[in-house]
Amino acid sequence: MTFRVLVSDKLAKEGLEIFNNAPGIKVDDKAGIAKEDLLKIIGEYDALVIRSATKANAEIIAAGKSLKVIGRAGIGVDNVDLGAATRAGIVVMNTPDGNATTAAEHTIALMMSMARKIPQATASMKAGMWEKKKFMGNELCNKTFGVIGLGNIGRIVADRAVGLKMRVIAHDPFFDADAAAKLNVELVSLDDLVERADIITVHTPLTNATRGLISVKQIEHMKPGVLLVNCARGGIMDEAALLEGLNSGKIASLALDVFSKEPVAANDPLVMHEKVICTPHLGASTMEAQVQVAIDIANQIIAFARGEPAKNAVNLPTASPSELQQLGPYVDLARRLGSFCAQLINGQLKKVEVQYWGEVTEHPLTAISQGALAGVLTGAIEGVVNAVNARVLAQERGIELVENTTAKPVSAHDTGICITVSGAQTHTAAGILIGGQLPRIVSLDGVAIDAALDGHILVIRNVDKPGMIGQIGTVLGQGGINITNMQMGRDREASEHLALINVEEPAAIDALAKIGGVRFAQQVTL
């Protein structure tokens, strides 16, 4: 039986050739296909290969009646609806290693360009000038280099900096100090890194926790004349704060490959600033990287078509195609519960315990537990974390995984999953599937509750007294936040109410926390 593959974005010819030469594979190269046309034909294909242009949203996935796998030639899968794909039993693969070296080298190139003012000196000479004294630079040897995030790219950047004889310090709350020492890297707090580093680079994903990670507060505590690099994601560094730091002289030079809004406006003040070096999101743009990700995704999909375990599956553990339909919803539930608990913890994680009861215990529990680990780690480290690599990443960071089953239901439901995440704090969440598909949380920290595990969720604990719900609703209304659902639970022992509030957009947590009687307020995004 022929396995049909549709390529909807431009893919290097080396990848297409691998598809064309594979027995039992029929590939159609329709790079640049319009969404309307894609919707008409996607139902005929077993696999969809994309890069960043195609948006594999819920509508596309629903139309892909025969789809078994979506392959992303690259790292980021922001353009894929992972929840819809998982519930449909569709594996989403990426190629996490294909462009890591390229992105790391671009970071080093920008750092060197800043240190020696190469772009400015080039522009000066092209303008007919010889301004030798104007472009005095700095050596990198023996400078303190601060790396925020020790994912795939961050570790390569740190390795290259060590080779340049720089003192490398790093901040990553999910990385183990002993593992960092093996990289010749000193693991420090974010505050310590900001105060000590001569050059700072970020390599984290963009999440609620990392948005604006480098802000006015951090810049105020940096060394005068600090150099900053961002080749990760726009928005991790507050762009208004960067501009202020450049104008004040605190930041000597800034190198940006990514921006909060892309493409950037022609008159963007950061782009136009004389102390800024910038490139149009070129981190992964080398011939070698484009060829490698094309080769990687072609080989991965062909192996999957032959019934081999799914490699680099973003949303599912290693599994054969025949297991996907049953595993998918449970892995999705575990991933959401893990992410939910992890986002409530402020500080380093140490342990993830996954407990099962009922019918779910008939499935491969290790695979589901790895989905939980992926949820815990996603958003905390750079790059996409999947159930294939979650256990290794957890071990690198000293995070213990414990699995067990129980004959006694954790909640009033016949089957489900309970996840406990421990570290600086401990949080426990139990969940079930409604109709075997829709994930729900039915208990949080021992308080019975029932809410959808999707979108933006406000988690609020307040004293058990009249008027609290009204005050919370008033603050949200004043902030223009629309509530889509609110579920309440009562913790009689603590004399508290627990509220899980689904909202359409991020809310002002600080304002909620200031309400008298509110003891805890946190936003979770799934």
pLDDT of residue 296: 95
State yes or no: pLDDT of 371 exceeds 70.
yes
Could you tell me where the DSSP H helices lie in 183-286? 190-196, 216-220, 239-248, 269-272
Helix 118-126 and helix 100-116, axial crossing angle in degrees, nearest 10 = 60
Average pLDDT along the chain: 90
Task: Please tell me the least confidently modeled range out of 120-129, 227-236, 326-335.
Answer: 326-335
pLDDT (tens digit, 9 = 90+) per residue, 465-486?
Answer: 888 889 998 988 888 888 999 9
pLDDT of residue 96: 81
pLDDT of residue 46: 96
pLDDT of residue 322: 60
Q: Sorting pLDDT into bands at 50, 70 and 90, what band is 364?
A: confident
Task: Please tell me the least confidently modeled range out of 68-72, 163-167, 262-266.
Answer: 262-266
For every residue of 309-346, DSSP letters joined together read PPSSBSSS-S--HHHHHHHHHHHHHHHHHHHHHHHH--
pLDDT of residue 292: 94
Q: Is the peptide bond before 309 cis (omega within 30 degrees of 0)?
A: no
Q: What residues act catalytically? A: 233, 262, 281
Q: Kindly list the distances between the CA atom of residue 69 and the CA atoms of 4, 6, 299, 340, in Å, as whole numbers in the listed order.
A: 11, 11, 13, 26
State yes or no: pLDDT of 30 exceeds 80.
yes
- The mean pLDDT value for 172-192 works out to 92
β-strand pairing of 91-93 with 186-187? unpaired
Q: Sorting pLDDT into bands at 50, 70 and 90, what band is 436?
A: confident
Q: Sorting pLDDT into bands at 50, 70 and 90, what band is 154?
A: very high
Q: Kindly list the distances between the CA atom of residue 423 and the CA atoms of 390, 446, 523, in Å, as whole numbers in the listed order.
A: 18, 18, 19
231 close to 201: Cβ distance less than 8 angstroms: yes
pLDDT of residue 327: 78
pLDDT of residue 319: 57
Taking the C-alpha atoms of residue 446 and residue 428, their distance in angstroms, rounded to an integer, is 7
pLDDT of residue 311: 84
pLDDT (tens digit, 9 = 90+) per residue, 399-429?
Answer: 899 998 887 667 678 899 999 999 888 999 9
Give bridge partners of residue 5 from the DSSP assignment.
27, 47
Mean pLDDT comparison of 13-27, 96-110, 202-216, highest-scoring range: 13-27
pLDDT of residue 383: 61
Collapsing DSSP to helix, strand or coil, 124 comes out as helix
Q: Cα dihedral angle (140, 144, 149, 154), rounded to 10 degrees?
A: 30
pLDDT (tens digit, 9 = 90+) per residue, 294-330?
Answer: 999 999 999 999 988 788 888 766 555 566 567 778 8
Taking the C-alpha atoms of residue 366 and residue 376, their distance in angstroms, rounded to an integer, is 15
pLDDT (tens digit, 9 = 90+) per residue, 32-77?
Answer: 999 999 999 999 999 999 998 899 999 999 999 999 999 999 887 8
Q: Based on the number of CB atoms within 10 Å of its own CB, is 39 exposed (0-12), middle (13-18) or buried (19 or more)?
A: middle
State yes or no: pLDDT of 127 exceeds 90.
yes
In the chain, the largest separation of any two C-alpha atoms, in whole Å, equals 81
Residue 502 makes CB contacts below 8 A (sequence gap 6+) with 451, 452, 454, 455, 456, 457, 458, 483, 484, 485, 486
- The mean pLDDT value for 349-374 works out to 88
- The mean pLDDT value for 185-214 works out to 93
State yes or no: pLDDT of 266 exceeds 80.
yes
DSSP state for residue 359 in the 8-state scheme: G
